[in-house]
Amino acid sequence: MIALTLAEITSAVGGGLRLDGTQATPDTIVDGSVTTDSREVGAGGIFVAKRGEFDDGHRFAPAAAAQGAALLIVEHPLDLPVPQIVVADSVDALGAFATEVVRRVRALGRLRIVGVTGSNGKTTTKNLLRTVLERVGPTVAARASFNNEVGAPITMLELTNETEFLVAEMGASGIGEIARLVRMARPDVGIVLKVGLAHAGEFGGIEQTVRAKSEMVTELLETDVAVLNADDPRVVPMAGLTAARVVWFGFGESADVRATDIQAHARGTEFTVAVRGGESAQVRFSVLGEHHVMNALAAIAASLELGVPLPAVVDALEQVTLAERWRMQVMGGRDGVTIINDAYNASPDSMSAALKTLAQVKNPGSRTIAVLGEMSELGEFSGEEHDRIGLLAVRLGISQLVIVGQGARRLHITAINEGSWDGESAFVESSDEAFDLVTSSVRPGDTVLVKSSNSAGLRHLGDRLGEWFS
């Protein structure tokens, strides 16, 4: 974080400074990292005590103080010998703090900001952009999926006076949340990847999801750039909602940054990227899955707008072997068995893409096994979307389904009721049962996909299978 005095931080967050029992003064400088997790606090750090749904961060303030916190941001005074800023709402204070830090670093004239949103692919695209941009200059990007009202500002607070690029992942579960994050960071380039049914239950329907994702572009200025998915009919109308210049990415001829000659295999995906104006390049992309080509195109388009030459962008992308842990992560290898662990999260779109990839990359003459759990947060769409995935698995010719947990049982029922399929589907209640079933039935050369929403916990099953077949 940039160095600020306690007085400056107090002003930024709109709180009251308390220095009782400390040797600090309003002019004391703090420049440590900011966190809401007391376990991450280091000497000189700032701990924000946030009230959660199930716990209260104020309970962990003593631990943060013991680990060397230089400042606590709290909602009520605590009897601790550490400087404290008392605020009405710690999450609002965190956002205000991030806004001020971004403003100060922006004023130095070198910082460029990219905002990334969409129902799927945010973290992958953010990671790809980080890989490209950090070769050009000091870059800050979110850890894991730090994309909400807490994670996004914590990422912004990692800025220093030397930072040249900030890649801010912006997620939401309701109207107004992306707009709030955009106002904190004020992106020069705003990316909208795809609008699907992920979290549609939380948003209250697909129309509300579209409205929420549109907030990325409605907040952009005429001098900014909106990077939009030309192949998504829900994203295309967003061009009419923004004052920014629009750059399109996709597979179709209308895209400014386009992929052609796509070839997916077990080692990744190869494609040609063509840029409007005539420039093109061959890309050997090691990240598994044709659907990740769209994320790569978005990263390419944004990087070009930030002045990175196409050869440098392609060279950086070709060095990426894993988008993120638990996202199309290739494991295993013993007896030719491949485990694809893609169970960090799941929506109808990402589940469909993963199954299609499984069908594409299997070894000739071998079997495909899909171990699937629930797609959560779909609300009223849950039943029909699990039905659709069951039918898709059958029609793709997946050799074996292993369905885990009651939340995904409807997928299993739909699959076994599909008369055109002569394969099998097994239902089990737990990850342990799934592990036993898969390890006892896998044959040499099989390819196994593990896919579910985070809440189903199958990412750990994927890890176990990967280790077992390593």
- Walk me through the domains of the chain, giving residue ranges and CATH numbers: 4-88 (3.40.1390.10), 108-317 (3.40.1190.10), 329-468 (3.90.190.20)
Q: Which two tokens stand for residue 158?
A: 């990692």
Instruction: Specify the DSSP element, H or E, that contains 208.
Output: helix 206-218
Residues tagged in the binding site annotation for ATP:
118-124
Q: State residue 279 phi and psi, 5-degree precision.
A: -75, 140
Mode of pairing for the β-strands spanning 71-74 and 84-86: parallel
Q: Which two tokens stand for residue 17?
A: 């400074």
For residue 205, give every residue at least 6 positions away whose Cβ sits within 8 Å of its Cβ, in sequence order, or none.
379, 380
Model pLDDT, residue 66: 95
Pseudo-torsion of CA 317, 320, 324, 326, nearest 10°?
120
Of the candidates 198, 200, 234, 199, the residue with the CA atom closest to the CA atom of residue 217: 234
Tens place of pLDDT for every residue, the chain, 470 residues?
999 999 999 999 999 999 998 999 999 999 999 999 999 999 999 999 998 877 899 999 999 999 999 999 999 999 999 999 999 999 999 999 999 999 999 999 999 999 999 988 888 999 999 999 999 999 999 887 788 899 999 999 999 999 999 999 998 878 899 999 999 999 999 999 998 765 555 656 778 889 999 999 998 999 999 999 999 999 999 999 999 999 999 999 999 999 999 988 877 899 999 999 889 999 999 888 888 899 999 999 999 999 999 999 999 999 988 767 777 888 888 999 999 999 888 888 889 989 999 998 888 889 999 999 999 878 888 899 999 999 999 999 999 999 999 999 999 999 988 754 555 889 999 999 999 999 999 999 999 999 998 888 899 999 999 999 98
Helix (H, G, I), strand (E, B) or coil at 27: coil
Model pLDDT, residue 205: 73
Q: Which two tokens stand for residue 448?
A: 């196994």
The Cα–Cα gap between 465 and 438 comes to 8
The Cα–Cα gap between 331 and 462 comes to 9
Q: Are 187 and 306 in contact (CB under 8 A)?
A: no
What pTM value is reported for the model?
0.86
The Cα–Cα gap between 429 and 372 comes to 12
Count CA atoms within 13 Å of residue 200 on its CB side: 20
One-letter amino acid for residue 162 of the chain: E
